[in-house]
Amino acid sequence: MMQNIQPIALTIAGLDPSGGAGIIADVSTFVQFGVRPAAAITSLTFQNSERVFGATHETANSLRAQILPVVEEGRIAALKIGMLPTADLVVEIARLLTETDLPAPIVDPVLQSTSGYSLMEKEAVEALVTELMPLTRLLTPNIPEAETLTGLQIVDEADMREAAAMIRAMGAQAVLIKGGHLANESERRAIDLLDSEEDVKVLSGEWIESPPVRGTGCILSSAVAACLARGMSLEESVVAGKKFVTETIRHDAGLTQRVAGDSGNIAGR
């Protein structure tokens, strides 16, 4: 009965066996927002919390074979797309978007891991721009990803605005540039910029001092997708997603501090 009531959100992304990012993080986020999760894997990565060791990628045919039965079973209310390592996979997803009633997706352009491992081939990035971006509801790049897509150097809010406008000109209906990588964030605020068909909004939130938290990009994009599935507007979804990520970072930072404190107590005995 719950399956008939809950909206379905589909994530198409890579599998991180350590659970910190990718499909596992997406599904967990969907569940916490009260959305029924569905998933299709683009790549099986070999990684832990510290680094990526390698990956083996799905083919276009195997990805299609995963998605079509899910689409046929019930209407997908929201679609989040993450790691797309090859051009074949990008093109196949674009084809599926035009052939089925899949909704315009939230696309998190996962170009490389935090440790520097390349997660998207050059040809796949080119296909993203030409084939998938014109079909995208919202693109959610961080600063380095926005720099790669636009060729700009982004150091402040004005650069974020220019990059967002360039990405929208490539075809995306809306762009959310995540400002967590800004090197000159003097006010210690978490600044994100949403450029949509309506207007440009700067979303300022609390800056939490903590080590980098893996998977925040996956969590944010999947949270936005979940909120859209529940009928919220794009701006409401982005605001709710940003708040959810802030609380995730706060929890992670608190957990890290408690573990460090416990370790100190044990060492002192």
Provide the whole-model pTM: 0.87
Residue 42 lies in a domain: yes
Residue 49, pLDDT score: 80
Q: What pLDDT shows up at residue 213?
A: 64
Query: Residues 111-157: pLDDT tens digits?
Result: 876 656 678 999 999 999 999 999 999 999 999 999 999 999 999 99
CA distances from 165 to 45, 50, 53, 86, 193 (A): 33, 34, 35, 26, 11
Angstrom distance (rounded) from CA 1 to CA 3: 5
Sequence-distant (6+) residues with CB within 8 A of 183 are 155
Q: Is residue 55 part of a domain?
A: yes
| H or E element, residue 144 | helix 143-150
Number of domains within the chain = 1
13 domain residue, yes or no: yes
Domain carrying residue 196: 2-261
Q: What are phi and psi of 233, to 5 degrees?
A: -75, 165
The token pair at 50 is 């510290």
Question: Is 268 within the bounds of a domain?
Answer: no
In order of 57, 58, 127, the CA distances from 87 in angstroms are: 11, 12, 6
Q: How far apart are the C-alpha atoms of 104 and 259, rounded to whole Å?
A: 42
* pLDDT, mean over the chain: 86
Residue 216 lies in a domain: yes
**Helix H or strand E segment including 149:** helix 143-150
Examine residue 135 and state whether it is found in any structural domain, yes or no: yes
Least confident of 27-41, 102-116, 166-180: 102-116
In a domain, 23, yes or no: yes
Burial of 163 (0-12, 13-18, 19+ CB in 10 A): buried
Q: Is the dihedral of CA 41, 174, 152, 208 positive or negative?
A: negative
Residues 123, 129, 134, 135, CA torsion sign:
positive
* CATH code at position 156: 3.40.1190.20
pLDDT over 70 for what percent of the chain?
Answer: 83
Instruction: Let me know if residue 125 belongs to a domain.
Output: yes
User: CA quadruple 4, 6, 8, 14: dihedral positive or negative?
Assistant: negative
Task: Give the start-end residues of each E strand in 58-109.
Answer: 76-81, 106-107
Instruction: Please state, as a whole number, how many other Cβ atoms lie within 10 Å of the Cβ of residue 241.
Output: 27
Convert the pLDDT of each residue in 188-227 to its tens digit: 667 899 999 879 999 987 766 655 566 788 999 999 999 9
